[in-house]
Amino acid sequence: MVTPSEFRTFPSPANRKLRLAFFQPRRLRRLLHSLKFDYVHIATEGAVGLMLRQYCLETERPFTTSYHTRLPEYVALQTPIPQGWVYRFERWFHSRALGTMVHSPSLIDELSSKGFRNLLPWCRGVDRQLFRPREPRKYGDARPVYLYVGRLTVEKNVADFLELNLPGQKIVVGDGPLLRRLQHHYPETIFTGWLTGEALASAYSSADVLVFPSKTDVFSNVALEALACGTPVAAYPVPGIVDVIRGAPVCALSENLTLATLEALTLDRRACREFAMGFPPKIVAEQFIDHIRRVHTIGS
């Protein structure tokens, strides 16, 4: 894997904790010449991805890409740059790939309507050994416990969760540029910072509901992780979560997030765990490799 950590970086203007790579194409070439590889997959449209795309085109090496996030919508939320300009850039970026892997059927339809081509469905999975129901549950006796997990940024819509008038305790797991502001405005909420591994799995298991307030995610990994821990989900009825749940009785969806959260409290935790068993990580890897081999065979 070639990542920004291999290059000189600078802090992102939108999130100072996120480091962006400088353009160093000569360094990239040196790195690639020291590696032995059969295929090239470009994961994102950042500086490393742009340098690698240029390298592949110059050396006539085919490559695949993936579409992970709604960059045009996120840019439009934080800058005056129109979504259409960013979509134009992304169409250009992915246009020379043998295939672009996308995590949800609805996003494939949406991107197709915007002129993207050679789109490939790529599922997601969850570590069912790490993310599992656990005892004892944390966060004291105040029940119910409502949990948010993710970045604390504008596009994640965290304030919609924190504004809910609900009995019990709200927990926020994550970090980001909005952390201090949210801590100031919602002092009754417990902010844990980033959690990983066992600590994150324990947080999921300790919650009565995972509240997912985002309206822009292309696929909700945190929803799968929560369900694997037996914790039901409440969310807006938007594609990113609808594509995960697929109508199963493990998530409450409503434009009224309060009603969705209260309904989620009534859902069967065992059904949540059973649903998550249908997303083994092995399938993700197998589909990824199958796509790469197939498009290279077709393109050769």
Residues 61 and 89 in one domain: yes
Does some domain include residue 240? yes
Helix (H, G, I), strand (E, B) or coil at 9: strand
Any bridge partners for residue 190, and if so which? Answer: 171
116 and 232 in a single domain? The answer is no
- Which pLDDT score is estimated for 184? 96
User: Which pLDDT score is estimated for 19?
Assistant: 82
Q: For residues 113 and 156, state if they share a domain.
A: no
How many domains does the chain divide into?
2
pLDDT of residue 203: 96
Q: What is the pLDDT of residue 216?
A: 80
Q: Which amino acid is at 50?
A: L
- pLDDT tens figures, 210-232: 999 998 876 778 999 999 999 99
Instruction: Give the domain CATH number at 226.
Output: 3.40.50.2000
What's the mean pLDDT in 19-42?
91
The reply to whether 272 and 151 lie within a common domain is yes
The verdict on 87 and 107 lying in the same domain is: yes
Residue 132 within a domain: no
Three-class secondary structure of residue 125 per DSSP = coil
Buried b (16+ CB within 10 A) or exposed e, 241-255: bbbbbeeeebbbbbe
| Block residue for tokens 């822009």 | 216
Residues 181 and 76 in one domain: no
Query: pTM score, two decimals?
Result: 0.85
Distance (Å, rounded) from C-alpha 16 to C-alpha 1? 24
* Predicted pLDDT at 15: 67
pLDDT value at position 300?
Answer: 63
Structure tokens at 129: 């050994």
Q: Exposed, middle or buried: residue 146 (CB in 10 Å: 0-12, 13-18, 19+)?
A: buried
User: What span, in angstroms and rounded, lies between the C-alpha atoms of 269 and 135?
Assistant: 14
Q: What is the pLDDT of residues 64-116, one digit of tens each?
A: 999 988 777 777 777 788 888 988 999 999 999 999 999 888 889 989 999 99
Element (H, E) at 74: helix 71-78
Q: Using CA atoms, how far apart are residues 298 and 105, in angstroms rounded to an integer?
A: 23
Digit-coded pLDDT (tens) for 129-157: 999 999 888 887 778 999 999 999 888 99
Mean pLDDT calculated for residue range 256-271? 97
By CB neighbour count within 10 A (0-12 exposed, 13-18 middle, 19+ buried), where does 284 fall? middle
Q: Residue 184 carries which side chain, given as an amino acid letter? A: H
Residues above pLDDT 90, as percent of the chain: 68
Beta-carbon-side half-sphere exposure of residue 19 (alpha carbons within 13 Å)? 10
End-to-end CA distance of the chain: 24
The residue with tokens 């799968």 is: 224
Contact 1, 35 (CB under 8 A): no
> Sign of torsion, CA 141 142 144 150?
negative
Are 200 and 176 contacting, i.e. CB atoms less than 8 angstroms apart? no
CA of residue 30 relative to chain centroid, distance: 31
* Domain range enclosing 112: 4-125+282-299
